[in-house]
Amino acid sequence: LSADPSLRKKVNGSFVFRLSGGPGGASAAWTVDARKGSEGDGVTPSDDVVSKPDCTISISDADFAALAAGKEKHVTALKHQWH
C-alpha cells in the first residue's frame, strides 16, 4: 500500500493475518487495513488487530515463510491448511 496508495481505494477492506507454529510454538497476528488512511503502509501491530476484519488468513509460520520466499504457491499452502 505504501508503494501504490491508489490500491487503498481498490482494496477497501481489512485483512488479519494469523501465524501459528513459530519458534517455540509462538503465534502472531497483524492487520492490513485498507479501509482507512492509516499511517505508513496500513499495517497495524498485533495488539491492535481489527475485531471484525473482512478477511482472516490463518497459516503456519513455515507455510508463510515459504510463500514470502516464493518457494511455495498459494494454492499449495492453502491445501496444507485444509488437511
Per-residue confidence band for 83, with pLDDT thresholds at 50, 70 and 90 = very low
Q: How far apart are CA 62 and CA 34, in angstroms?
A: 26
Per residue in 20-56, pLDDT (tens digit) is 999 999 998 888 877 765 555 656 555 577 788 898 8
Dihedral sign of CA atoms 33, 34, 39, 42 in order: positive
Q: How far apart are CA 46 and CA 17, in angstroms?
A: 9
Per residue in 7-23, pLDDT (tens digit) is 777 888 888 888 999 99
Which residues make beta-bridge pairs with 32? 15, 43
Which residues make beta-bridge pairs with 28? 19
